[in-house]
Structure 1
Amino acid sequence: MSVLALSSAALTGCSDEPDDEPKADPEPTATSTPGSATASETPYLPVPDGVELTAQGSELALGDSAVVAYRPRQDVVGVLGITVERIEKTSFKESFAGWKLGPEFTGTTPYFVRATLTNEGEADLGGRPVPLRIVDSADRLVEPSQFKGTFKPCPSKPFPQPFGSGDSRTVCLVFLAPEGSELEAVSFRPSQEFIPITWTGTITKPLPDKPTGNKGKGDKGKGDQGN
C-alpha cells in the first residue's frame, strides 16, 4: 500500500478566493435568522434574471437547499444551488489507513460533508474551491482539507474542469475540527461582512463502501460523481 501525505494546509486551507475573504474567524458575531431559506428582497450581488438568493443568516437543516452568490474572483460572480445532505464523523483509524499524518493533526477530529452543488449562474467555476466551511464548537471557521493524492473515501476536490452554467456535482469534503472542538454547522460565508447561511442536523457515521465486482447487465459503469 502506498503511503501518501496529507497536505499541511488542512487546517488553514488553500483558496484562490479574494484576500478579503475569511480564512478563519474566531468570533463570528452576526445574528442568524431561524427557519428555512427565503428569497432576499434585494440581491446582495448581481445575479441572472429569475434567480432568487437565499436570505443571509438562514439556518437550514440537512437536506435543505440554498441559492447563494459569491465572488470567487473580484471580476467574477458565481451563483450556486447548494444542498448539504450529510455530515459524517469519522476517525483517522477508520478512514485514513495507509496515510502518513504529521504531528499537526494530533487531536483533530475528521468529518466528511456531502453536498450537491449546481451552477445557477453564468460564470464557469471549474477548478475553483467549493465555498463551504465548517464552524466548530469554538466558533472558528475551518476550511476543507486538501490532499496530495487521491483520497477515495471523500475526495475533497475543487470543482471539475469545466463547471459551467447548469452543471451539477455531488461532492464530499474533508474537514478537521481542531483539538478539543467538534463540528457545529456547515457554513457558507464568502466574506467577513456576509451573515452566514448554515446547515445543521444529525451527524452520522460514514456510509459503508459500495461493493465492487463485475458489473451486472444494464450497469453502464457510471460511478458517483463526487468520488
Structure 2
Amino acid sequence: MHTLLMRSRLVPFAASAVLVPALVLAGCSGDDGSKDASASSSQTPSESGSATTKPYLPVPDGVELTAQGSRLDLGKPAVVAYEPRQDTVGVLDVKVTSMEKTTFAASFKGWQIDEATKKTNPYFVHATVKNVGKSDLGGRPVPLYIVDGRNTLIEASMFKSTFKPCPSRPFPKKFGHGDTVKACLVYLSPRHGDLTAVSFRPTQAFDPITWTGELTRPGADQPKKDDKGKKKQGKKG
C-alpha cells in the first residue's frame, strides 16, 4: 500500500479565487496511477545518465535513452520514454532547471486559500521539455512529479485560469517532433512537506530518474558556472 497526492485544481471565481485543497488517497498501485517514490531495481544508477542497454521502450533511431535510476543535478538533461496511452510512446528530452520554494502570501495574492490547503507547502519547478519522438503529445500533462520528505510522489496542480507567477499548463494542443516548451509547474506538498527531488516515474515498475539541487525563491538569481565549472552568482537586473 502507498499514497499518492491526486492532481489538485485551482478554480478562480468572481473577484477572488479559490484554491481547491489537494486530496491524499491511499491505494494499491495499478491503472489508477497511484505512486510511491520508493523503488527497487537491479540496474545501477548512472550519474551521467547515459544508457548502455536495450531501450526499455521503442524509440526512433539515433535516440539514446537515459538509464533508469539516474540521479541528475539541476540543469542536466535526460532523454526519457513513456506510454501516455496504449500503443503510444512519447519520447522527451527533459531538463529540470530550477526548484523554487514559495509561500501563499508571496505568490497567491488574490486567491482564497482554505485551511486544508494552508497546511501544504507550495513549490515551483521550471523545466525545458523537447519532443524527440514521433508521437504528438498535445494536451498531455508534463510527466514530472516531486518527491516529498515522506517518500511520496506529488502531481503538479492544474489551473482553470492563468496563474501568472507560474503558468502551470499541459503541453500545447499540438506538441509534435521537435517542439519545445519551457514549463513551470506548481506543486502543493501536504502537511507542510518538503521538496527533495523532481522525479520522472511513469509506472510503478520504473526505476525513477531524479533531479536534485538547491531550492531557491521565485525571482532569485540562479548561480552560473564559469569556464572552469565553478559556480558564480549571476548579475542582478
When the two structures are superposed, what TM-score results if normalisation uses the length of structure 1?
0.83
| Alpha-carbon offset, residue 12 of structure 1 | 5.8
- Per the TM alignment, residue 6 of structure 1 is displaced from its structure 2 partner at its CA by 2.8
Superposition pairs of residues 154-169 of structure 1, within 5 angstroms: 154-169=166-181
2:157/2:188 contact within 8 Å kept? yes
Q: Which of the pair has the greater relative contact order for Cα pairs under 8 Å at 6+ separation?
A: 1
Q: Distance in 2 between matches of 1:12 and 1:131?
A: 19
Mapped partners of 1:111, 1:189: distance in 2: 19
CA deviation profile, 1:62-112 (whole Å, cap 9, x unmatched): 000000000000111000000000000000000000012233212110000
Counterpart CA distance in 2 for 1:56 and 1:29 is 11
Are 1:4 and 2:17 matched, yes or no?
Answer: yes
**2:155 counterpart (143, 146, 151):** 143
- Contact kept in structure 2, 1:63 and 1:85, CA below 8 Å: yes
Partner residue, 1:20: 31
Conservation of the 8 A alpha-carbon contact between 1:127 and 1:162: yes
Distance in 2 of aligned mates of 1:12 and 1:65: 31
Q: Of 72, 87, 92, which aligns to 1:60?
A: 72
Unaligned stretches of 5+ in structure 2? Answer: 1-13, 221-237
Q: Deviations over 1:123-182 (max 9, x none)?
A: 000100000000001000000011231101101110011000000000000011111420
Which amino acid in the other structure matches residue 3 of structure 1? S
Q: Deviations over 1:180-200 (max 9, x none)?
A: 420100000000000000000
The offset of 1:202, in angstroms, is 0.6
SS at match of 1:183: coil
Cα separation, 1, equivalents of 2:87 and 2:24: 25
Deviation at 1:20, TM superposition (A): 2.8
C-alpha deviation, 1:39, in angstroms? 1.6
Counterparts of 1:180 and 1:131, CA distance in 2: 23
Shift in Å at residue 23 of structure 1? 3.0
| Number of residue-to-residue matches in the alignment | 201
Matched with 1:216 is none
Indicate the RMSD between aligned Cα atoms, in angstroms. Answer: 1.9
Query: Aligned runs of 1:162-177 on 2, under 5 Å?
Result: 162-177=174-189
Task: Tell me, yes or no, if the aligned pair for 2:20 and 2:117 is still in contact at 8 Å.
Answer: no
Residue 30 (1) aligns with residue 40 (2): yes
| Equivalent pair of 2:156/2:187 in contact (CA under 8 Å) | yes
Q: Equivalences for 1:199-210 in 2 at 5 Å?
A: 199-207=211-219
- Distance in 2 (CA, whole Å) between partners of 1:113 and 1:11 is 20
Q: Structure 1: 5+ residue runs without aligned partners?
A: 14-18, 209-227
Counterpart of 1:20, as a letter, is: D
- What residue is the counterpart of 1:125 in the other structure? 137
Indicate if the aligned counterparts of 2:39 and 2:208 stay in contact, CA closer than 8 A.
Answer: no
Aligned to 1:51: 63
User: Structure 1 30/22 Cα, relative in aligned 2: closer, same or farther at 3 Å?
Assistant: farther
Aligned residues of 1:90 and 1:111 also touching (Cα < 8 A): yes
Distance 2:212 2:89 in 1: 26
> Does the 8 Å contact 1:156/1:174 carry over to 2?
yes
Higher-strand-fraction structure:
2
Residue 73 of structure 2 aligns to which amino acid in structure 1?
A
CA distance in 2, matches of 1:113, 1:206: 10
From 84, 93, 102, give the equivalent of 1:90.
Answer: 102
